[in-house]
Amino acid sequence: MTQNSISEAAGQLPTKAEQNALLVLAESHFKGFTTKSNFARKHADEVAMLACSGFITNHVGGTQWSNLWKVTAEGLSFLAFMMDEIEEDDEE
């Protein structure tokens, strides 16, 4: 569990960095974006964090790599969890 996940679990509001990371994760799932796109450049820190955390990848399989960032299974689970949390907060 990351430091930010701990603060989230403790009921604190997400930081701007966490919000940006969620935006990048959603973008990688719903649209995808290239490794050298303006979006990737603008959100380079979040892309690096999400890739290092295993939430997004450009690995296709074996020795094949792509120039397109896509969400991983772990990233999709986390995105679904966060979207459920946001939906629950909106209902309250």
The domain of 76 spans: 16-91
Q: Does any domain span residue 22?
A: yes
β strands within the chain, DSSP E: 33-34, 56-61, 64-71
Q: How far apart are CA 51 and CA 92, in angstroms?
A: 33
pTM of the model: 0.78
30: number of CA atoms within 13 Å, CB side?
8
Q: How far apart are CA 88 and CA 58, in angstroms?
A: 32
pLDDT of residue 15: 75
* Count of domains observed in the chain: 1
User: Is the confidence at residue 21, as pLDDT, over 80?
Assistant: yes
pLDDT band at 6 (very low <50, low <70, confident <90, very high): very low
Residue count of the chain, please give it. 92
User: Is the confidence at residue 11, as pLDDT, over 50?
Assistant: yes
User: Is the confidence at residue 5, as pLDDT, over 80?
Assistant: no
- Write the CATH number for 22: 1.10.10.10
Bridge partners of 65?
59
Q: Does any domain span residue 4?
A: no
pLDDT digits (tens, 9 = 90+) for 28-60: 999 999 999 999 999 999 999 999 999 999 999
